[in-house]
Amino acid sequence: MNRRYPPAVSLVLDLSQSCVTRVGMTYPVSPLATPFPDLPQIDGVTPHVVRAGYKDWGRCDLTYVTFEEGTAVAGIFTKNLCCSSEVELGRENIRQGQARALVVNAGNSNAFTGYRGREAVEQIMDQVAAHLGCAKEQVFVSSTGVIGVPLPKDKAREGVEKALTAEPCSWKDAANTIATTDTFAKGATATAMIGDTKITISAIIKGSGMIAPDMATMLGYLFTDAAVDPAFLQKCLSAANRSTFSCITVDSDTSTSDTVLAFATGKAGNAPLTSFESPGADAFYAAIHEVCAQLAHLVVRDGEGASKFIAVTVSGAVSDESARKVGMAIANSPLVKTAIAGEDANWGRVVMAVGKAGEPADRDKLSIGFGGIWAALEGMPVPDYDEAPVAAHLKGQDVTIEVDLGLGDGIATVWTCDLTHGYISINADYRS
């Protein structure tokens, strides 16, 4: 989709504490953290959090969000073939286009758990549906955490029972509750005008490791008061995903549980959006896309052990998709990522990554730069290349890598982080 959308979006972000305890361990908050925004409440949406006790970590770990009748839903899910029952059922339920509730369990991904895992999810769906008096297909469930351990049905039942009567909570509480190895709560908000009606989007996300989604990211949820047809909401979310969530990577690993859901209550009272021809549809899509982009960037900024936020822009490719694949090859390269961690402008590693991508490339047309300064042009090192300003750029927290393939008009930007000893420490101790 080669549309250009108006910048009719206001977006704010925010910051957290200096240390955080997750999955039984204490981590320093990412140096790339941003503040949690003041997310507006969305008419027709009510979040709650409780402690189900999926892990012995002394914190809330079950998020329960209710929606008023008539709420539309859209979703994108992991392409991992070993996905959880939550993902399988979510794919089935999304087809009917309506939602009354969302339940998110943290500490246990319930993936690779066979029929016992599916029974636990269906139990949650039945329990919530009976309470709300709705079809079970209108209850969406996500789980995140350790793979291979069935979600305890007794803890899930008791946790949901508490959630059904829990007091409403803030969006920050909800964002913290869905987290696992995240070091800061992540949220974004935007507004747009549809005719004379202002619509609002509030969104939260979790994700820090096992990020190379090829569809979405860990767990992300968008909530809006706009009136939107479910099919058009799906079209907007899928289109936004292609240049946001599908363009990030932390470690090249695609999760078994990745899910992004968008819920639209219709309470703003705008004329319902049914297609891109509807008045205000472009502004609505611009807001959806901006929120998705900010959420995706926040996940990378909280990459496990990350100290640098890296944007890789590839131009001159034979197509936009080819440019994205080359960019992801660079962003996923351990050699490139460790060079950036060490603040080493080793552009030879970028050459390697371009060449291994499996996409059209010509070494004699290839140009590579850092921070807007070219180190190599058209297959040759730049004469009298001065590495000092590039070294200064790499000392910062935000790093850019530019690659021009010199073959066509294709262009893409992907985002990643550096690879440090912190990543090893977190993942070596994850199940401890």
Binding site residue list: 180, 206, 217, 304, 427, 432
Of the CA atoms within 13 Å of residue 107, those in its CB half-sphere come to: 26
> Distance of CA 407 to CAs 223, 309, 360, 378, 402, Å?
41, 28, 8, 11, 15
Q: Which residues are 189's β-sheet partners? A: 202
Residue type present at position 185: A
Find where tokens 């496990």 sit.
304
Quick one: angle between helices 114-132 and 85-93, nearest 10?
50
Of the CA atoms within 13 Å of residue 205, those in its CB half-sphere come to: 33
Which residues does the annotation place in the binding site for substrate? 180, 206, 217, 304, 427, 432
DSSP 8-state assignment for residue 243: T
Residue type present at position 12: V
Active site residues: 217
DSSP 8-state assignment for residue 215: S
Closest Cα partner for 29 from 279, 302, 293?
A: 302
Secondary structure (DSSP) of 107-141: EE---S-HHHHHHHHHHHHHHHHHHHTS-GGGEEE
Residues whose CB falls within 8 Å of the CB of residue 151, separated by 6 or more in sequence, listed in order: 54, 105, 108, 110, 113, 117, 120, 121, 143
Per-state percent for the chain, helix, strand, coil, to nearest 5: 30, 25, 40
Residue pair 264/227 in contact (Cβ under 8 Å)? The answer is yes
Residue pair 371/345 in contact (Cβ under 8 Å)? The answer is no
